[in-house]
Structure 1
Amino acid sequence: MTTGNAANTSLRKASAAMLRAGLDALRTPAIRADADAILFSAKSFAAAMLAYCIALHIGLPKPFWAVVTVYIVSQTSVGASLSRGVYRFAGTIAGAVATVAIVPNCVNDPIVCSAVLAGWIGLCLFFSLLDRTPRAYAFVLAGYTASLIGFPSVLDPGTVFETASVRVQEISIGILCAVLMHRYVVPKRMTGQFTGKLSATLQDARRLAADVLSGTPGTSRRDRNQLAADLLALQGLATHLPYDAAPMTPRREKLQLVHDRLARLLPLATEIEDRMHVLGARGDRAPEELSALLGDVGAWIATAGTAERDGAAAHLIGRARAIRNHLGADASTLGDRLAANLAGHLAEMIGLLQDCDRLVRTIGTVDRARDAAPLHGPRRAKGYVYHRDPWMAARAALGAMVGILIGCAFWIWSAWPEGGTAVSILGVCCTLFGNVDTPVPNVIKYMVGSIHGVAISLAYSYVILPQVTSFTVLVAVLAPAFLFAGSLQARLPTTFRALGITLTIPILSGLGPTYTGDFAGSLNMVIALFAAVGFAAVSMSLFQTVPVDTAINRLLHVSRRDVGRRALGAAPSEAHWTSLMIDRTALLLPRLRASGKAYSDVLDDTLHHLRIGHAAGQLRNTIPRTEGEVGDKARDLLLAVAARFGARGRTGPVDHTDLVPRIEALAALIAGSSIKDRLRMLDLLIDLRFALGSDETVKREHSP
């Protein structure tokens, strides 16, 4: 009996261990991603069949557009699906109205009609590239809806209003079904994903601060790049939160406050790192009280978020400010000025991190005036600022117009019966894939998916669908292809390939009210599809592709130009400037990875531009309150900075070594004066000097 009990106990333990191992395996990222992809595919297919059924029931002539719309709108989260559906509906309405206005008024001249349609598509692409938020999808849809409806109607303008009206109805049904399915059937909230990313971003911010204070070589640059990428990813998620319909979503005002503080932390961490480098590792040439403060701040950053941490933060900020005021009271030596400057930056960094902790803890609530926890930074926020380049957007839009016009010219010259369809697909490709520097790889992925879609469609059209006798059987036979393609669509690397399948099968299989089985029509459609997509790849490589080096140099050029503008005072607020430069840094990261060249210093250049612009802009704001020789020399210095960085056509590094003596002379003049903003101006001059890359000069002068 004892042996049997022992055997049963061992069996139970083994079974429990196997069960735990199985549950752990199900929690792995790969399995969870597969499960999410399968769930997304099942919901999208159910929404597509529901939309198809409704469109059939009310007698729409081309119900397959409802199916296509479901797969275009569907996203892996509730918020993204709803926002995409709203923008698609708005864009479809705008595109349909534009088509109805353009085609009948140009009925007598197909060339003019095609040119106007191409101009509309280019204009929509231009605004979509300028917007850079999910709202841009509305402009994309306004463009390619006009392409889908307008070009096939050029030779038959009498049907354009009916075609536009029916298309809007079909698309509206698809949007409604997709939104309802993803909203109410096992919804995947965007809020949870955003909260997890926000928590990871705060950890990255604390890691950056800790690595800067510890002097860990080579890590601070990586930490800064990661934080910049985090902020861009957070903004991409946050734009969908208003559509998430979660019980409690993060409040927009607090998200903006958190963003502004994290954005300021990026250049501030570099300021602290530079001062510590000059004063020696761990402050061995710094005053004893400052060295002790550095150690205590590092220990505070490593602590968990507790009530004691809040009290410790207030104490450390008070110590840092006291050290700054004490050392800055007699700023006759460069060492005292640097130490005071470092203490002030430490106080600011502690306040930024503590504000982030407080804001995140109450991010879903409304602070009442009497209950709101005091913040160390400003209570007014700017939030994320997108870099927008009208010149680059116009270049891409003009390239799309040229490609479409060449396609139209060939269609009209050859009198190809399917030319209108081919050009409409060309217009869709130019707008749908035209939002990146190098769209051709995505077009090729779509073409590969379309090849699979054509093969599957022909099998359905002439082998399977003729045997179908009921809607239930139709759903059953369509399920394997759509479920497989839907699972691919949920994975970012295969999204475009999946779209080639899910957008081709409904159209080419002729999922209409009745089975037609028109082989000649299907063959013509296949020829038009591959001719259009192939020509789109060639056209976009010639007219819409931006070489990666050109994109990088363009970002650096506008950054240098804006530094000059800030020095002249024609610049936005500090929060706006910081967020704008961080967005440019985030845009540089993928381009630098794709360049294949040694651009190790490019990100440092953008950070230098951010720091120089910050110091110059702040210094410009203090000048109106400063008169006499100090004010005159400060104005001359900023004019020199503006002339150096605002030079037109400059693409290489900026030589600014001759600015350093002017900064030193002005700092010495201010140190011996009694002006009201003396300590503030000294801090800004030190910031400007370090941002210009003069830290080695400073270190030599401060060495014993």
Structure 2
Amino acid sequence: MNIAPPINTLSNKAIAVMLQAGTLFLRTPAMKADADAILFSVKSFAAAMLAYYISLRIGLPKPFWAIVTVYIVSQTSAGASFSRGVYRFAGTLAGAIATVAIVPNFVNDPIVCSVVLAGWIGLCLFFSLLDRTPRAYAFVLAGYTASLIGFPSVLDPGAVFETASLRVQEISIGIFCAVLIHRYILPKRMTGQFTGRLSATLRDARRLADNALIGTPEVNRRDRHQLAADLLAIQGLATHLPYDPAPTPPRRLLQLIHDRLARLLWLAAEIEDRIAALHLADGGAPGELTALVSEVSVWAASAQTEEREAIATLLITHARSVQKRFRADGVMPGDRLAANLAGHLAEMIGLLEDCDRLGRSIAASGRLRDANSLHGPKRAKGYVYHRDLLMAGRAALGAITGILIGCAFWIWTAWPEGGMAVSILGVCCTLFGNFDAPVPFVVKYIVGSIYGVIISLVYSFIILPSVTEFWVLVAVLAPAFLFAGSLQARLPTTFMALGITLTIPILSPLGPYYTGDFATSLNSVIALFAAVGFGAVSMSLFQTVPVDGAINRLLRLSRRDVGRRALGKAPNEARWTSLMIDRTALLLPRLRLTGKAYPDVLDETLRHLRIGHVTGQLRRTIPHKSEIGVELRDILSVIARRFRGSKQSTTTDLPDLDLWVETLIEKTAGSELKNRLQIVDLLIDLRFALGLQTYRSITTDDH
């Protein structure tokens, strides 16, 4: 008997397996990235050709600026494209107005005119470096536009108003078309990216909390670094949410969840230290406390369920009762430490539960029904950016110096293409000025420009002379722009792609009519590479910040601010925490680039955060007219002096503080102060934050 299955059944199964395999393959991250890049490229090219067509139809003399604008404005998401378009328009308008005000008034003195234009560009760069939100792009474009219009207009100052007006029109058309296409044609919404990244961040937060209870120091350190990077990433996405076409969550919800995640980052380190000091893993702690830690660990690692919120409430109540019990018996150091740990556990549970509730509200793009039911603070600060006036001023001064050297060469040699070269130099200084080390990105741009020049020459003198119809022009331009656009959508090749997409429209005669001239093209190519090449040299000399210098600068500022916090002169708790989290996130990419070993630098920044937090709280709780208050002020003054110095303070620098703080804890615990329990808790926090590890030899066996 033949028992083989029918051939049709086998073939159907084979087809089903192949289709399933193909579907899974298309869903892989690599294929999804390729599909997104192709879609971005097609949409950008469509927007560029639409802008070019409109510019031609209304008779603008240099319609290629509309194409250039499309590729500068276009981003991979609808929200980012819209925000970039809005701020590019604002910056272009401001730069054009500044140019019209500067050039006619100073054109009779070329040196003064160059100084004023360079000063404007440097000022714009300065403000763009201080504002690390999408608004910074407006400042970049204000300097970019002044350079682009101002320096070439020196040779014809009477036409500067007309030139500025035409550039604004051409750029505005490019902005309009880019925003129109990316926002309404198969838009890639920022809201979906944000909620996906937020979900991953909340998972990382729970893993951090769980590992703080049962994990190893190395795992905990990695989790803290990951959460700091997550907070910077979701803030980068959140800044574009107001411009997204999809419904977006209220800003207050974003601020509330950020503040809780930021607080959780350092609170997990506090809990980890106390668990190690109490020897919970070795069974050195009371059974009640060990059971509480175990229950919290199980809850933190569990999946989302309807019972989760009720369990959280029960755990918080349990933790507070444990805290109260050990406080009542708090004669021995181990009891006080156990009470301190229980209080921190209750706070951590509340933070995690708040994050869950806020995350669900954000995912639903709705409002929080009852903010008063949150466990943490009801007021929110949100993300706070680190701003460094000195480094921003240094970069701006470096840009001014480089531009003035270029202007001096132009004036001295009377180079006919000098105005174009200096304008490109100014553009490079503004576009790449926000990097610590801009030269590698400029080199990528130069590589792209080389490809762009070759393609432009092929178009100019081989292909375009035979083109007489617009649709044919679109067809012949498509291969180069579609390929370059797909590269622009990928972060590693973005700057190389910009070198292609910005060079082809300018060097190819994409004007109202064909004007191919080899001598003109050659002069433009020479000006382009001379400007970008000198820009790379100039920025390497005047605008590059060594990565080790940037790391040490961030650490010095953190130590300085710890001293200020101890004196009561620094920002409030939420602002302080968010600022230090941002500094930690800024250190992460720099540490990957440095050749030196900084094994503990991120832990050091977190230590600064903890010290600043507890000293600020102690400063506010100092009792008046008491001996304990005087001693607290003296301790804070000593901490302020040691952290405001130029050298890093370590545990070995503070041996006398350990005994001093321990004595003050005993004195405060036995006093009649109303807030003595709060002060004792804060002094315990201070010992751990300072790294005074006497507590590591203390267990509740002391009683």
Query: Shorter-chain TM-score category?
Result: over 0.9
Match of 1:699 among 690, 696, 700: 696
The residue type paired with residue 153 of structure 2 is S
2: CA distance, partners of 1:47 / 1:161: 28
The residue type paired with residue 700 of structure 1 is S
**Post-superposition offset of 1:107:** 1.8
1: CA distance, partners of 2:422 / 2:650: 45
The residue type paired with residue 269 of structure 1 is A
The residue type paired with residue 671 of structure 1 is A
Contact 1:553 1:651 in 2 (8 A): no
The more displaced of 575-584 and 273-282 is 273-282
The residue type paired with residue 216 of structure 1 is T
Contact 2:371 2:378 in 1 (8 A): no
Q: Which residue is 1:279 aligned to?
A: 278
**Post-superposition offset of 1:280:** 0.6
Alignment of 1:239-250 (within 5 A): 239-246=239-246, 248-250=247-249
SS of match in other structure, 2:655:
coil
Name the Cα RMSD after superposition: 1.4
SS of match in other structure, 1:347:
helix
**Post-superposition offset of 1:307:** 1.8
Contact 1:279 1:699 in 2 (8 A): yes
Alignment of 1:63-82 (within 5 A): 63-82=63-82
Contact 2:79 2:240 in 1 (8 A): yes
Q: Which residue is 1:147 aligned to?
A: 147
Q: Which residue is 1:304 aligned to?
A: 303
Note if 1:670 corresponds to 2:668. yes
Q: Over residues 85-138 of structure 1, what are the superposed CA-to-partner deviations in whole Å (9 max), with x where a residue is unaligned? A: 001000000100000011111021011000000000000000000001111111
Q: Which residue is 1:38 aligned to?
A: 38
In the alignment, structure 2 segments of 5+ residues that lack a partner are: none
Q: Over residues 194-215 of structure 1, what are the superposed CA-to-partner deviations in whole Å (9 max), with x where a residue is unaligned? A: 0000000000000111111113
**Post-superposition offset of 1:658:** 2.3
Alignment of 1:163-242 (within 5 A): 163-242=163-242
2: CA distance, partners of 1:152 / 1:194: 43
Q: 1:481 to 1:367 in 2, by over 3 A?
A: closer
**Post-superposition offset of 1:431:** 0.6
Q: Which residue is 1:20 aligned to?
A: 20
The more displaced of 628-637 and 47-56 is 628-637
Q: TM-score, normalised by structure 2?
A: 0.98
The more displaced of 278-287 and 230-239 is 278-287
The residue type paired with residue 65 of structure 1 is W
Aligned residues: 699
SS of match in other structure, 2:248:
coil
Q: TM-score, normalised by structure 1?
A: 0.98
The residue type paired with residue 7 of structure 1 is I
Q: Over residues 399-456 of structure 1, what are the superposed CA-to-partner deviations in whole Å (9 max), with x where a residue is unaligned? A: 0000000000000000000000000000000010010100000000000000000000
1: CA distance, partners of 2:11 / 2:526: 64
Identity of aligned residues (%): 73
2: CA distance, partners of 1:368 / 1:519: 65
Q: 1:672 to 1:424 in 2, by over 3 A?
A: same
Match of 2:659 among 658, 661, 669: 661
**Post-superposition offset of 1:661:** 1.7
Q: Over residues 473-496 of structure 1, what are the superposed CA-to-partner deviations in whole Å (9 max), with x where a residue is unaligned? A: 000000000000000000000000
Q: Which residue is 1:313 aligned to?
A: 312
Alignment of 1:680-699 (within 5 A): 680-695=678-693, 697-699=694-696
Contact 1:260 1:383 in 2 (8 A): yes
Q: Which residue is 1:130 aligned to?
A: 130
1: CA distance, partners of 2:328 / 2:134: 51
The more displaced of 269-278 and 360-369 is 360-369
SS of match in other structure, 2:350:
helix
Alignment of 1:38-437 (within 5 A): 38-246=38-246, 248-282=247-281, 284-363=283-362, 364=364, 367=367, 371-372=370-371, 374-437=373-436
Note if 1:597 corresponds to 2:596. yes
The more displaced of 227-236 and 280-289 is 280-289
Contact 2:334 2:698 in 1 (8 A): no
Contact 2:278 2:698 in 1 (8 A): no
**Post-superposition offset of 1:8:** 1.0
2: CA distance, partners of 1:88 / 1:3: 72
2: CA distance, partners of 1:580 / 1:167: 40
Contact 2:95 2:146 in 1 (8 A): yes
1: CA distance, partners of 2:365 / 2:78: 22
Contact 1:276 1:283 in 2 (8 A): no
2: CA distance, partners of 1:577 / 1:283: 36
1: CA distance, partners of 2:174 / 2:490: 22
Contact 1:444 1:537 in 2 (8 A): yes
Q: Over residues 48-68 of structure 1, what are the superposed CA-to-partner deviations in whole Å (9 max), with x where a residue is unaligned? A: 000000000000000000000
Q: 1:491 to 1:304 in 2, by over 3 A?
A: same
The residue type paired with residue 60 of structure 1 is L
Q: Which residue is 2:647 aligned to?
A: 650
Alignment of 1:622-661 (within 5 A): 622-623=621-622, 625-647=623-645, 649-650=646-647, 653=650, 655-661=653-659
**Post-superposition offset of 1:368:** 6.9
Contact 1:110 1:155 in 2 (8 A): no
2: CA distance, partners of 1:83 / 1:184: 15
Q: 1:548 to 1:166 in 2, by over 3 A?
A: same
Contact 1:213 1:282 in 2 (8 A): no
**Post-superposition offset of 1:361:** 1.0
The residue type paired with residue 647 of structure 2 is R
Contact 2:280 2:290 in 1 (8 A): no
Q: Over residues 563-617 of structure 1, what are the superposed CA-to-partner deviations in whole Å (9 max), with x where a residue is unaligned? A: 0000111111101000000000000001111012110111111011000000000
1: CA distance, partners of 2:261 / 2:210: 14
Note if 1:547 corresponds to 2:546. yes
2: CA distance, partners of 1:191 / 1:574: 29
Contact 1:626 1:675 in 2 (8 A): no
The more displaced of 34-43 and 662-671 is 662-671
Q: Which residue is 1:535 aligned to?
A: 534
The residue type paired with residue 602 of structure 1 is V
Contact 1:215 1:281 in 2 (8 A): no
The more displaced of 664-673 and 474-483 is 664-673
The residue type paired with residue 685 of structure 1 is L
SS of match in other structure, 1:103:
helix
**Post-superposition offset of 1:365:** 5.1
SS of match in other structure, 1:570:
coil
Q: 1:256 to 1:475 in 2, by over 3 A?
A: same
Contact 2:386 2:579 in 1 (8 A): yes
4+ residue runs over 6 A deviation: 1-5
2: CA distance, partners of 1:454 / 1:531: 14
Contact 1:458 1:509 in 2 (8 A): yes
Alignment of 1:432-471 (within 5 A): 432-471=431-470
The residue type paired with residue 686 of structure 1 is I
